């Protein structure tokens, strides 16, 4: 089994590379977008034809923090739609099973019950601040469902909860995920002896968090066990943003 991983320079892609020695099938990795632009159909096709994988793990996407989503909605929409469509089109044509990473942000901004389940994905509009990214990810899943209906195509979509890990964008606040952004903010405050840290919002929204190493191991097991379909991937804890901020502050050792 030979698995091609797109998005190999991202948080989850780099984590898979770190853990690769634990897995019993071979991996190959797409180069960074500066060398292989997956929004270009022919570049994507050349990549897959060159590696000839038996499976594709599609992690590549244009991602960022809340402010980046607000500032660049068209980029987050069109680039993600293009690269997702290209990868899906090629994999369906070549009948290469595809595992695609989606995100908790595709879920509706308002839901009646927790925890979130897969059947809730299309039950309402996503959070407005990242709706462009969320709808691009929803479109990806709808395309895969259509391929299953028309061609009986095997695919897996994993709806990951909020990820954190050592390869996140610690030095780029526009791209950092929530936990990483909080770690940086509290660490800086501790180093600079600040007696106050200001966080925006009410702190009431509920979130689930997952360590990137756990997500990478889940991807490996899903491929190995040939688990096709759509799966919500999250830990049992459902913490408020205020609660996770307090956890981070305590771990960092910030006492302000």
Angle made by CA atoms 121, 96, 44, in degrees to the nearest 5: 85
**Nearest Cα to Cα of residue 178 among 163, 195, 157:** 163
| Catalytic-labelled residue, pool 29, 107, 114, 133 | 133
Residues 6+ apart with CB under 8 A from 81: 136, 139, 140
Catalytic residue flag (residue 50): no
Per the listing, tokens 């991937």 go with: 233
Q: Is the peptide bond before 139 cis (omega within 30 degrees of 0)?
A: no
Note whether 46 and 247 are within 8 A (CB). Answer: no
- Cα–Cα nearest to 14, from 80, 76, 67, 59: 59
Q: Which residues are catalytic?
A: 133
């Amino acid at each position: 089994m030979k698995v091609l991983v797109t998005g190999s320079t991202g948080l989850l892609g780099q984590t898979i590379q770190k853990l690769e020695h634990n897995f019993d099938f071979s991996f190959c990795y797409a180069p960074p977008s500066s060398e292989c632009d997956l929004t270009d159909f022919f570049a994507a096709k050349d990549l897959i034809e060159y590696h000839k994988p038996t499976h594709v793990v599609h992690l590549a996407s244009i991602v960022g923090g809340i402010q980046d989503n607000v500032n660049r909605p068209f980029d987050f929409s069109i680039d993600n739609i293009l690269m997702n469509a290209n990868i899906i089109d090629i994999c369906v044509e070549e009948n290469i099973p595809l595992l695609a990473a989606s995100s908790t942000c595709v879920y509706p901004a308002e839901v009646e019950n927790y925890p979130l389940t897969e059947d809730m994905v299309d039950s309402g509009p996503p959070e407005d601040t990242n709706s462009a990214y969320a709808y691009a990810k929803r479109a990806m899943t709808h395309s895969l469902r259509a391929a299953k209906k028309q061609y009986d195509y095997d695919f897996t979509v994993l709806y990951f909860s909020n990820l954190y890990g050592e390869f996140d964008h610690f030095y780029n606040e526009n791209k950092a995920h929530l936990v990483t952004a909080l770690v940086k903010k509290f660490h800086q405050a501790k180093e600079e002896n600040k007696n106050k840290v200001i966080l925006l919002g009410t702190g009431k929204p509920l979130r689930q968090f997952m360590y990137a190493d756990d997500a990478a191991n889940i991807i490996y097991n899903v491929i190995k066990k040939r688990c096709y379909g759509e799966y919500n991937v999250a830990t049992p804890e459902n913490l408020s943003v205020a609660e996770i901020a307090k956890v981070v502050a305590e771990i960092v050792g910030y006492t302000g």
